[in-house]
Amino acid sequence: MTDTLGGLTQEVVSGVALGCIYALIALGFTLIYKATEVVNFAQGELMMVGAYVNFFIVTALLDIPLLNGAMGFLLAFAGAVAFAFLFGTFLDLIINRPLKDEPVFSVIMATISMAIILRAVMALIAGPMTRLPVSPFGSGVVKIGGIVISVHDLFIISSAVALVCGFYFFFNRTKWGIAMKATSEDPMAASLVGIPVKKVYRNVWIFSMVVATVGGVLLAPKTLLDTNIGFLGLKAFPAAVLGGFGSIPGAIVGGVILGVIETVSMGTLSFHFPWVKEINDIIVWIVLIAVLMIRPAGIFGREEIDRV
Amino acid sequence: MKGRYADENLKWIAPLILLVILLPFLLRGATFSYRYYLYVLNIAGIYTILAVGLDVLSGYTGLVSLGHAGFLAIGAYTSAILVDQAGVPFGLSLIITPLITGLFGIVVGFPALRISGMYLGLTTMGFGFIVRRLIIALRTWTEGSAGLEVTKPLLFGFTFNSDWDNYFLVYTFVILVIVSIRRVMKSKVGRALMAIRDSEHAAQAAGVNLTRYKLFAFFLSAVLAGLAGVLFAHTMRFISTDHFDILLSIYFIIMVLVGGVGTVYGAVVGTLFIVLLDFLAIPIFKDWLGSFVAVEVADIQSLIFGLIMFLFIIFQPMGLYGMWLKMRIYWKLFPFNPKKRFT
């Protein structure tokens, strides 16, 4: 019995780490959704691009003697974030600007096409092989009362929490954050009161690309790096819907709950009920459909259904 | 008084049907590899049936579906199991299977009564994943991810042995589907669906029963996908879960978008365009690009399709059919075009 309980606790802990990855991705499209009401289906691919850029710089720096350790990683991370700034601006320029007045559906389709373009282009550049990025925090583990958690997972959890707190503060307390919220309510009114709507849109895409890069850099050593890690971005959608789409605390709560559900169903549940094994990879989608049937607004969302 | 369909020019339908019938003979006369072209055309025909169904749902009714490959899979597997394992004749399966798939459509349609837009897209996407996983789980009948071999179509004692025979089977249904769906969309039902797309509130105020018509749109769309599934299973003669992944669902959306949303002909033109591009142009492009870098066909395919969809959304949201309409108006008015009309 204690054995099962210990195993379960261990699963919950790794589930939290996995859920924080979902939360980071979900945070990225929550930002865009909050300001523009566009759902960015390419978020997972943006994360992949960020991870690849970081990896390429790290490998390029390996030959330079002083820069092949933590210093090099920091430099690569700075490079990846700088790239994220440029790429976010570029995405705003090619997706958001031309489709400003189109229905949201067209913009969503544009992000889907951007997702498959990015995956193909990355496959052309990086080749089909799977890369093995090394974790900057080493492979050390921490033991707390019989539960093992890797240092890398601790970093994932803490950076997710930090980013969520940071963005929560940003959206509720700072001038720019409130400007973004106002833009999402009504772009016309926002520009009438002097909010530079175009700049707001650009910053939102940049932020979301930076968040994606952070997520990708943290995720890559955990899952290995190939062009398919973008598919993980799809699993962040159920997380965001569960937490309440467009809610920043919802992103992390939904992500963590979903991560825990997934690891527990893969571990203990599959062990005790063999049929659960069959539905492991779709359990997030079953959760999604259940949430949409019962409470479409999610945990933190506002009830906004216009009944007909 | 004008009849219901009087505004429509139907003169070209007979020559078009004649062309469809003559095409294989022309191809046989023109080239030795006509069998391959017929195979490609068969796939195009099957996808056309599905794309028309998707257009009914997403184009006419405005309910997004990112999981139509799931319906195709249900149709294909149901028919394969019915015919090969339950001994149902192929002709009967052609009727039963689409109806069964239609029931699945109604089930998926229920969430659509409460949610819309991107949430519906996610739900249908989840449905696609769930179907794929269930097919693997039900391995007693479906042989899991190994795939299932299917028998040839046998109708009225005639076995459809080759792509040549299948061509006529597939295109009979393509023509039937195009003509009948165009009729349905011009009728009261079609106008109700379009009213739902334009404004649910207004539609309901005008007396459209939202529940019934939304479920009907899902049903009709799934029936067509099921029909495409039956033809797919029996003409390809091998199906596996790899055929029905999420990318295929997105490619279906691309077909409808490229052709022109909310027009049956648009879905047909878009499907032909994408499938012909896929089978005839992409291998050539891949060979050319392969001389510079190592590439895989799937990557080239998604790169080109993604680019096409992206460019169409930005520059030509009405699709190929919309382009044709604009050109026609342009030539009709030719010397007297109002300035800046098409900007």
C-alpha dihedral sign at B162, B165, B171, B176: negative
Instruction: Say which of A39, A128, A293 has its CB closest to residue B111.
Output: A293
Beta bridge partners of B149: B238
- Nearest chain A residue to B119 by CA distance is A292
The set of residues, in sequence order, having a beta carbon less than 8 Å from that of A2 and lying 6+ positions away, is none
Cβ pair A152, A14 in contact under 8 A = no
CA atoms in the 13 A half-sphere facing the CB of B124: 30
Long-range contacts of B106-111 (CB under 8 A, 24+ apart): B106/B215, B106/B218, B106/B219, B106/B222, B108/B67, B108/B218, B108/B222, B109/B214, B109/B215, B109/B217, B109/B218, B109/B219, B110/B215, B111/A289, B111/A292, B111/A293
Instruction: Say which of A241, A286, A308 has its CB closest to residue B204.
Output: A308
B112 in reach of chain A (CB within 8 A): no
* Radius of gyration for the alpha carbons in chain A, expressed in angstroms and rounded: 20
pLDDT of residue A15: 87
Read off the pLDDT of residues A177-205 as tens digits, 9 standing for 90 and up: 888 888 877 888 888 888 888 888 888 88
The distance of B16 to chain A (nearest Cα, Å) reads 33
Beta bridge partners of B162: none
Q: Measured between beta carbons, which residues in chain B are less than 8 angstroms from residue A288?
A: 122-123, 126
Cβ pair B130, A285 in contact under 8 A = yes
Label residue B343 by pLDDT band (50, 70, 90).
very low
Q: What is the mean pLDDT of residues B282-305?
A: 79
Say whether B115 sits in a helix, a strand or coil.
coil
Beta bridge partners of B238: B149
Label residue B74 by pLDDT band (50, 70, 90).
very high
Read off the pLDDT of residues A114-163 as tens digits, 9 standing for 90 and up: 988 998 888 888 877 777 777 777 677 778 777 778 888 888 888 888 98
Cβ pair B223, B53 in contact under 8 A = yes
Quote the number of domains for chain A.
1
- The one-letter amino acid at B199: S
In a domain, B105, yes or no: yes
Question: In which domain, by residue range, is A22 found?
Answer: 2-229
Q: What is the mean pLDDT of residues B17-26?
A: 83
Comparison of pLDDT for B90 and B334, the residue scoring more: B90
Q: Measured between beta carbons, which residues in chain B are less than 8 angstroms from residue A121?
A: 303
- pLDDT of A77 above 90: no
Beta bridge partners of A144: A147
Lowest mean pLDDT among A278-292, B124-138, B149-163: B149-163
CA atoms in the 13 A half-sphere facing the CB of A33: 24
Say whether A150 sits in a helix, a strand or coil.
strand
B147 in reach of chain A (CB within 8 A): no
Q: Select from A137, A208, A123 the least CA-distant residue to B286.
A: A123
Q: What is the mean pLDDT of residues B32-44?
A: 86
Rounded to the nearest 10 degrees, the angle between the axes of helix A197-223 and helix A70-91 is 140
* Percent of chain A with pLDDT strictly greater than 70: 94
Q: How far apart are the C-alpha atoms of B232 and B43, rounded to whole Å?
A: 8
Q: What is the DSSP letter of A268?
A: I
Cβ pair B131, B244 in contact under 8 A = yes
B152 in the Ramachandran plot: left (φ > 0), alpha (ψ -120 to 50) or beta? beta
Convert A22-52 to b/e letters by CB count within 10 Å (16 or more is b). Answer: bbbbbbbbbbbbbbbbbbbbbbbbbbbbbbb
In a domain, A298, yes or no: no
In a domain, B159, yes or no: yes
In a domain, B204, yes or no: yes
- pLDDT of B342 above 80: no
Q: Select from B272, B278, B133 the least CA-distant residue to A276.
A: B133
Quote the number of domains for chain B.
1
Instruction: Say which of A119, A288, A308 has its CB closest to residue B126.
Output: A288
In a domain, A288, yes or no: no
Q: Measured between beta carbons, which residues in chain A are less than 8 angstroms from residue B118?
A: 39, 104, 108
Q: How far apart are the C-alpha atoms of A89 and A208, rounded to whole Å?
A: 11
- Nearest chain B residue to A123 by CA distance is B299
Q: Select from B207, B301, B162 the least CA-distant residue to B245.
A: B301
Cβ pair B114, A296 in contact under 8 A = yes
B283 in reach of chain A (CB within 8 A): no
Q: How far apart are the C-alpha atoms of A41 and B136, rounded to whole Å?
A: 27
- The one-letter amino acid at B262: G
CA B194 to chain centre: 19
- pLDDT of B10 above 70: no
Q: What is the DSSP track for chain A?
A: -HHHHHHHHHHHHHHHHHHHHHHHHHHHHHHHHHHH----TTHHHHHHHHHHHHHHHHHHHTTSGGGSSHHHHHHHHHHHHHHHHHHHHHHIIIIITTTTTS-HHHHHHHHHHHHHHHHHHHHHHH-SSPB-PPPTTTT-EEEETTEEEEHHHHHHHHHHHHHHHHHHHHHHHSHHHHHHHHHHH-HHHHHHTT--HHHHHHHHHHHHHHHHHHHHHHHHHHH-B-GGGGGHHHHHHHHHHHH-TT-HHHHHHHHHHHHHHHHHIIIIIHHH-GGGGGGGGGHHHHHHHHHHHH-TTTTTS-------
Provide the 10 A C-beta neighbour count for residue B61.
25
Label residue A304 by pLDDT band (50, 70, 90).
low
Question: In which domain, by residue range, is B117 found?
Answer: 13-244
Q: What is the mean pLDDT of residues B52-62?
A: 88
- pLDDT of B228 above 90: yes
Q: Select from B330, B324, B334 the least CA-distant residue to B342.
A: B330
Q: What Å distances lie between residue B252 and A102, A196, B2, B169, CA to CA?
A: 21, 38, 36, 22
- Nearest chain A residue to B306 by CA distance is A113
- The tokens of A63 are what? 């030959």
Q: How far apart are the C-alpha atoms of B57 and B216, rounded to whole Å?
A: 9
Q: Measured between beta carbons, which residues in chain A are less than 8 angstroms from residue B200?
A: 308
- The one-letter amino acid at B224: L
Q: How far apart are the C-alpha atoms of B89 and A155, rounded to whole Å?
A: 61
In a domain, B218, yes or no: yes
pLDDT of residue B52: 92
In a domain, B67, yes or no: yes
Q: What is the mean pLDDT of residues B208-229?
A: 91
Label residue B151 by pLDDT band (50, 70, 90).
confident
In a domain, B236, yes or no: yes
